[in-house]
Copies of this chain bind each other. A is one copy, B any other.
Amino acid sequence: MGDAALIQALQRIVGEQHVLHAPADLAAYAVDATPLLRSLPTVVVFPGSRDEVKAILELASEKRIPVIPRGAASNLSGGTIAIEGGIMLNMNRMNRIIEVDAANLTATVQPGVTTAQLAREVEARGLFYPPDPGSQVISTIGGNVAENAGGLRGLKYGVTRDYVMGLEAVLPNGAILRTGGKNAKDVAGYDLTRLLVGSEGTLAVITEITVKLLPKPETKRAALAIFDRLEDAGRAVARIIENKIIPCTLEIMDKGTIKAVEEFAHVGLPTDAAAVLFIEQDGPRAVVDADIELAGRLCREEGARDVKVAATVEEGTKLAEARRFALPALARLRPTCVLEDATVPRSHLAEMIRFIEATAKKYNLLICTFGHAGDGNLHPTCPCDERDHEELERVEKAFAEIFDKAVSLGGTITGEHGVGIAKQDYLEWKIGEAGVAVSKGIKAVFDPLGILNPGKVLPKATRKRLVVRQG
């Protein structure tokens, strides 16, 4: 099928005004939030309903044309790059909150609803949707489900997967699949709901999502602890958990990140500190106050130079800003910013950060680390310049060593950013040969023609591990 015929066929399905194919438009859809990756789709289409999605997939199956489902494209693993061209299936028109069901504590939404929009809508009714990925202002629930998005509240509240109760999805052959529903318990067959969560648009196109809600916590409170030694911060994290406190947020920033944030935002962080912990607890007031008080005391016992406890929710929000500035502050240092996602069991936190520092030094790079200390989900971030190929090679080598170390500590190659293109060559390090084999089999069951987001997640080849260790 020629491009012109494809464009016409798509226009007949969704209407002329919902198809883009001018070169300038295609260029805008050649990238996502991942640096270094770029590839033009053949056409961009905006379906308005499940039945339009079905018609597009049936056409694509018949003509063997790749389809790349896309929300806000805020993913960081190249998950929405049209590496083989094809139809960019932009889900943003399907952005209705269909229902907030307070009696069953669920919300049902179309995939194009933004995370922030859902959060606001349910909060207005005294309810709470916990997953809060960094990109929540623009990211869509459909994208969150496809990527199994995490966020700052993962330690206490879990990730997107833990809130998805039911899905409607269209298979590449046009069949409609409905999984789960509003039932707190449901063991009718294999868990197809969670199989689709985190499948990065490679198995089906999600057209409706039912999520679980919680009652909104009564209040929250925050503290910031400043450390002169990284190990002290690592030990403070361990002591907090040992003392049965599960904060809703427990974030760490290392020396390099602190310096970048302070130079960018002047929030009053001491640039000579080795690490800061941002601690937030939510829940009933008495519990929140007791937890924050104890967490602060434990930080001091482990050597914190200073612990600032917010007196009010607003003051806590100000403390949180320092952490939120980490990525923009680092991104402005150099033309390119490689944000990574190595994750380890939390007991290995300090060891992993130390290894990242040593690796950066070895390859003569600046790698700053911040992330979700409570769940061991670290974001080593390397400001660099993609035009400098020699530097990029060092970046790649350094991160290969970092992933290898994470896996050898019982960690994973990606905690919340997904595999996409960026990590597919590392996937076998984590899930092994048998894991790759069954995953390829599952892909073939859902998408036998391989038209759905081709070239993502599943490895074509696997990298040699740099260091061979017992897995």
- A414 CB contact (under 8 Å) in B106, B188, B417: B188
Contacts of A179 in B (CB 8 A): 431, 435
Write out the residue numbers on chain B whose beta carbons fall within 8 Å of the beta carbon of A286.
Answer: 284, 286-287
Q: Tell me the complex Cα distance, A344–B437, Å.
A: 37
How many chain A residues touch the partner (CB < 8 A)? 93
CB distance from A282 to the nearest CB of B (A): 13
Which candidate, A13-21, A237-245, A331-339, A355-363, is the interface stretch facing chain B? A237-245
CA distance A105 to B375 in the complex (A): 11
Q: Are A431 and B192 in contact (CB under 8 A)?
A: yes
CB nearest to A105 among chain B residues: B241
Among A115-123, A170-178, A266-274, A462-470, the stretch that binds chain B is: A170-178
| Contact B189 A197, beta carbon cutoff 8 Å | no
Count this chain's copies in the assembly: 2
Chain B, Cβ-Cβ closest to A238: B103
With an 8 A cutoff between CB atoms, is A328 at the interface? no
Please tell me which stretch of A34-42, A135-143, A315-323, A438-446 contacts chain B, meaning at least 4 of its Cβ atoms lie within 8 angstroms of it: A438-446
Q: How far is the CA of A29 from the CA of B82 in the complex (A)?
A: 55
Q: A103-B238, A445-B441 are in contact. Are A185 and B347 (CB under 8 A)?
A: no
* Binary per-residue interface labels of chain A (174-210) against chain B in the complex, 1 for a CB within 8 Å, 0 otherwise: 0111110111111111111011011100010000000
The chain A residues found within 8 Å of chain B, CB to CB, are 101-106, 126, 147-148, 150, 154-155, 158-159, 161-162, 171, 175-179, 181-192, 194-195, 197-199, 203, 214-216, 238, 241-242, 244-246, 284, 286-287, 290, 343-347, 372, 374-377, 410-419, 423, 427, 430-439, 441-442, 444-446, 457-458, 471
